[in-house]
């Protein structure tokens, strides 16, 4: 349990490192639910979708880093951040309400900027 892979035909595979030191319970809950087929909607420079997982708060935060992937507590959501959202107060991504950040994209997260919505699969990586 070290990486997750986000993939679709247009982008191929994007690898994200699980943040086991930061939010181990969240990482395990997401890992155990994989693979997930997702149809994400866009909100600013964030993609999000509700997922059928219930996770409690764990080192929750609102402000994120570019490339962070989080679990949104209020909506049971899977969220990918690559830039400003409508509630950002600076250049960093900001969630609408607290999230558990559980992974970070390796490489350029701005690859997701090309999508108004995104359909793909999240699966276990190696």
pTM across the whole model: 0.96
Token pair recorded at residue 83: 């830039």
Write b or e for each residue in 47-71: b if 16 or more Cβ atoms lie within 10 A of its Cβ, otherwise e: bbbebeeebeebebebbbebbbbbb
Each residue's pLDDT expressed in tens, for the chain with a length of 126 residues = 899 999 999 999 999 999 999 999 999 999 999 999 999 999 999 999 999 999 999 999 999 999 999 999 998 999 999 999 999 999 999 999 999 999 999 999 999 999 999 999 999 997
Residue with tokens 């950002």: 88
How many domains, in total, are found in the chain?
Answer: 1
Q: Cβ contacts of residue 71 below 8 Å, gap of 6+? A: 26, 29, 30, 53, 55, 77, 78, 79, 99, 100, 102
Domain of 35, CATH number, reads 2.40.100.20
Query: Domain residues for 100?
Result: 3-124
SS3 114: helix
Cis status, amide bond into 113, omega within 30 of 0: no
């Amino acid at each position: 349990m070290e990486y997750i892979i986000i993939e679709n035909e247009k982008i191929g595979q994007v690898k994200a490192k699980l943040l086991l030191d930061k939010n181990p319970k969240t990482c395990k809950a997401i890992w155990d639910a994989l693979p997930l087929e997702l149809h994400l909607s866009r909100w600013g420079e964030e993609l999000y979708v509700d997922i059928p997982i219930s996770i409690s708060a764990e080192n929750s935060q609102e402000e994120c880093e570019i490339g962070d992937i989080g679990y949104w507590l209020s909506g049971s959501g899977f969220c990918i951040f690559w830039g400003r959202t409508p509630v950002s107060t600076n250049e960093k991504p900001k969630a609408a309400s607290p999230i558990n950040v559980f992974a970070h994209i390796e490489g350029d997260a701005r690859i997701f900027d090309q999508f108004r919505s995104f359909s793909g699969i999240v699966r276990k990586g190696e």
